[in-house]
Amino acid sequence: MAAQASPAQASTSGTTGLRPAVVIGGNRIPFARSNGKYSTASNQEMLTAALDGLVARFGLQGQRMGAVAAGAVLKHSKDFNLVRESVLGTALSPTTPAYDVQMACATGMEAIGSLANKIRLGQIESGIGGGVDTTSDAPIAVSEGLRAVLLELSRARTLQQRLGALSKFRPKDLTPNAPGTGEPRTGMSMGDHQAVTTAAWGITRQAQDELALASHRNLAAAYDRHFFDDLITPFRGVSKDTNLRADSTLEKLGTLKPAFGRNLGEKATMTAGNSTPLTDGASAVLLGSEDYAREHDLPMLANFVDFEAGAVDFVNGEEGLLMAPAYAVPRLLARNGLTLQDFDFYEIHEAFAGTVLSTLAAWEDPDFCRDKLGLENALGSIDRGRLNVNGSSLAAGHPFAATGGRIVATLAKMLHEKGSGRGLVSVCAAGGQGVVAILEAR
């Protein structure tokens, strides 16, 4: 063992000696494009619907779960206890503790992963992890100027102080602040950041469109063979993800104009077709110990083996915004004694087709793996026939915090159907972060 710590070197604590955390099942509502079918649905309503479906499917009525952990990326301040409030609206026992998690698009993965850890440590027997997001029913805040005036007004004790506060009001302060997808420290949108990374790795438009097309075809085929029948509960008259375009073609995708990285000129390759749209939706995953599953006669689809978070310095241009999983995966592999090729399924979240393809290109690149990951050899390529085989975010859509739950439930079911093998999950997130995980079939 080299003594020098490298970026890819894992902690040596290991993960053995703990009991398994088992994925029992999942439930989500169909994802809907922003300002469409769910435009008036709140985060609490959608998360409650996803939990209700899970409770009904697994007979959890009246049960006191160990914990429910979920979150939303775009959250109203009134939703400070979003998950607890949602739980109180379900048939779960009101004595079930719940808490909110927030880690941008990795919210769902962090919620599920830390619940799995608690189960493995024996602290809880069961848990529900997931997430929800709406960009339609988004929180809109008053401007900083108006907020400052209102706060000063609330502190004012005398008429003079009140008038003083009011005198600071300016008409332009009436313009409200709506949330955006821009990175606070760089001012660039996530898409524009990824466009720089996509161009740096030389990912072609053709390759991105092909990945997008495969996502739609794979998701459509999964619906056709009723794969999602026990993973989705209809909501507001929707029974299938509304972004799915089963009849999409490379020709149609090829006609779209670049939507991101337009400053790159001819190198701009990212369109609305090979990028995820803004989406509304919610998901939930039921986890438990083996004892819990047996006691309640519940299925055991897969073990949630281990997970790892990563982060990169995108602010100073050291790395692309969405490349953190490229660094987290080798650490996770090393800790678990695995290679990148030891998996039967790869679930790489399609924030943008360019994100998936840049990550794969990085793992195939010996210079990147040596200079950035500190590895002797490249991690190598994967069998592309094992990548996102039941579709991913380009087709299903991506309600930020709900994506982790969609992926874990889908992968656990795929592994259980196959009856053996492992799956690798990789989810990138705003702020230059990401969470990756390993699941194992049961």
Partner 1 sequence: MSRRDVRLDAVPALPRLYAEALANQVRTKLTGSSGALVLPEVEHSVDGVRADVPRLEAYQQLVGDTVRPTLPSVFVHGTVFPVAMSVLAARDFPLPLLGMVHLSNQVEHLRPIGVDEALDVRAWADKLRDHHAGTAVDVVCEASVGGEVVWVGTSTYLAKGIWAGQRPERRRDRPEFVAPVQTGAWRLGAGAGREYAAVLGDYNPIHLGALPAKALGMKRQIAHGMFLAGKALAQTAPREGGYHWDIVFEAPVLLPATVSFGVATTDRLRSFEGWNATSGRRHFHGAVRPL
- Name the residue nearer to partner 1 (CB basis): 320 or 391: 320
Closest CB 47 distance from partner 1, rounded Å = 33
Shortest spacing between CB 319 and partner 1, in angstroms? 10
Minimal distance in Å, beta carbon 62 to partner 1?
A: 49
From the list 105, 193, 369, 416, the catalytic residue is 105
The answer to whether residues 79 and 312 touch, using CB atoms and an 8 Å cutoff, is no
Rounded to the nearest 10 degrees, what angle do helices 144-155 and 159-167 cross at?
180
> Could you give the angle at the alpha carbon of 425 between the alpha carbons of 422 and 428, nearest 5°?
165
Q: What is the DSSP letter of 420?
A: S
- Toward partner 1, which CB reaches closer, 39 or 186? 186
* CB neighbour list of residue 404: distance below 8 Å, 6 or more residues apart: 106, 107, 108, 109, 110, 111, 112, 129, 130, 131, 283, 425, 427, 435
- Residue 394 or 430: the one with the smaller Cβ distance to partner 1 is 430
At a CB cut-off of 8 Å and minimum separation 6, what does 315 contact? 185, 186, 432
Site map (CB under 8 A) of partner 1, residues 351-370, x = contact:
--------------------
Q: How far is the CB of 274 from partner 1 (least distance, A)?
A: 20
Annotation says 398 is catalytic: yes
For residue 188, state whether it binds partner 1 (rule: CB under 8 A). Answer: yes
Q: How far is the CB of 195 from partner 1 (least distance, A)?
A: 9
Q: In angstroms, rounded to a whole number, what is the distance separating the alpha carbons of residues 111 and 72?
A: 11
- Cβ(284)–Cβ(248) below 8 Å: no
Q: Of the ranges 10-18, 181-189, 212-220, 282-290, which one interacts with partner 1 (CB under 8 A)? A: 181-189
Non-local (6+) Cβ contacts of 436 within 8 A are: 307, 308, 309, 310, 325, 328, 329, 332, 424, 425, 426, 427
| 369 annotated active-site | no
Smallest gap from residue 317 Cβ to partner 1 (A)? 4
Q: Select from 4, 13, 154, 187 the one that contacts partner 1 (CB under 8 A).
A: 187
105 in catalytic set: yes
In this chain, which stretch among 79-87, 184-192, 395-403, 414-422 interacts with partner 1, using CB under 8 A? Answer: 184-192
Query: Of 171 and 317, which has the nearer Cβ to partner 1?
Result: 317
Instruction: Record the tokens describing residue 158, joined without a space.
Output: 């005398």
Q: Kindly identify the residues of this chain, within the stretch 302-331, that bind partner 1 according to CB under 8 A.
A: 314-318
Footprint on residues 198-237 left by partner 1 (CB under 8 A): 200
- Reference 348, options 392, 409, 308; nearest CA is 392
385 residue type, one letter: G
Nearer to partner 1, 183 or 241 (CB): 183
Distance CA 368, CA 383 (A): 20
Given 263, 339, 341, 420, the residue binding partner 1 (CB under 8 A): 263
| C-alpha angle 346-350-354 in degrees, rounded to nearest 5 | 105
Quick check: 185 binds partner 1 (CB under 8 A)?
yes
User: Which residues of the chain form contacts with partner 1 (CB under 8 A)?
Assistant: 184-188, 192, 196, 200, 263, 314-318
| Residues involved in catalysis | 105, 398, 428
